[in-house]
Chain A
Amino acid sequence: MADKILLVDDEEDFVETLAERMRSRGMDVSTCTSAVEALEKIDKKAFDAIVLDLKMPGMDGLEALKRIKEKNSKIQVILLTGQATIEKTIEAMKLGALDLLEKPADIEMLTEKIKQASSKKMHLVNKEHEDKIKKIISGKAW
C-alpha cells in the first residue's frame, strides 16, 4: 500500500511541485498551505507521515508539530526549514519530530526519511495492536 503523506508549506508552488514528484514515486500525497488546514486534514484521513515547513504565517511548524502529536502521537513528522539552527533542531526533536531537513531538500533523502517514518509508524501501530491483544488475552479466564 502506498505511503500516505501530507505536505504542509505556505509556498504553494513548492508543495505542488514536490507533491507531483513524490506521487511519481508511488506515494499517496495530499497538500495544504497552512498548519490550521493540516490539523483539519489529519482528522479526516490517516497519514503515515507529515512533511511540515517550520516557518509559516499564523501557526508555525513547531506549534503545529505539538498539536499533531497531541492528536495522534503515532504520526511521524519531518520538518523542513530554510535555515536549520541547532536550537530549533533540538526543540523539534524534543517535541517528537522524526527529523529536520534543510531546504532545498534532496528528494531521495526526503523519500528515505519518509520510508523510515512510515516503518516507524507501522511499528508503533503493530505494538499497539500487540498490547491490545495481550491485554485481551490476559484479561480472559481461559
Chain B
Amino acid sequence: MSTTKTISAQLRGVITQKNNGAFTVSTPTGSRNCPLTARLRRESGGELAVGDEVSVDAAGQIDALLPRRNWISRRSAAPMPGAHTHEQLIAANLDQVVPVFAAANPRLAWHLLDRYLVSAESAEIPALVVITKFDLAAGRPEADEIEQVAAEYRALGYPVLLTSTLDGSGLEAFRAALHGKRSLLVGKSGVGKTSLLNALEPGLGLRVQATNAVTGKGRHTTTAATLLPLTAGGAVIDTPGIREFGLWDVDGADLAWFFPEMRPHLDRCRFGLDCRHAEEPGCAVRKAVTDGLISPYRYQSYLKLRYDP
C-alpha cells in the first residue's frame, strides 16, 4: 500500500475514477485513462483508490503512487461465513467523510452511522453527517426522533445536516460545509448521495433512480466511485451504495477510543486499559451509560462493533 517513488519530471495527477482496474487520472494537461505499470500492479496489488495522487509516465501509465495523507477502507464482504476477507480501499487523501442517510426509504440505520463514524475516527478524518429526504418524515413522529438523535450527535462534535432535495432545505449549509474540501460521500444504496450532488451542481446531470416502491431500497444506480470537482471550490467523491461496512484494521482494544464520549472514562475502569467495557465489574464506561452520560444506543453500537467489527 505504501508504494512510493521519487517523482522527477513526470506528470502528476489525481485518480478521479476507478472502474474494474481502469483508472481515470486528472492531470494538469487534462483527464486521461491510465493503466498501471506492471511493476506497480505487482507491488501495490492494484489497490489504488479514488483521490490517490499518482505520477504518470511518458507512456501514459501510472508508475508511482505518492504518499497518502489518509484513507478510508472497509473489510471486503465475505462470500461465505469464514471466508478470507481483505482490505477494500474506498478513497484516499480526504478532508472529511460524509455519511449519508435517508430519513425514510430506505430506513435510517443509526448503528451503521456509528460504523462510519468509528472508521472516520480511526482514520483521523472529520465527519459530517447528512440526512436526506427529510421531507418524507416532516410532520411525522420520526421527524422528532431524528431531530433529537441528530442533536445528540451534534453534542458529540459531529455536525448533522437535515436536507431535502425536494424543498431545498439544508442544501446551502451542505454547500458551505463542502466548500474548499475533498469530501467522501458514503451510504447505502438509495439514500440520495447522487441526488444531493445533482441538487448542488445541476450541471453534473448524474444518473439517479427512485428507490424500489415495495422494499424502499435503492437500485445501485451509481456503480463506480468518482471524484467530482465543485464549481465553488473543493471536490466530492460520490460512491456506489454500500450494503455492508465492516471495519478494517480497527483493533478491539482501541475501539472505545473511537467513541469520543467514552474517552474521558477509559482510564477510570477498575481493570484499567484491559477493560473491555462489556461485563467487567467497576467499568467506568458502563457506569457512565447507566448515569446517562453516554447514549445506550452508542454503547450498544460499541458492543456490536467489538464482537462483529
Partners in one complex: no
Which residues of A are in contact with B by a Cβ distance under 8 Å? none
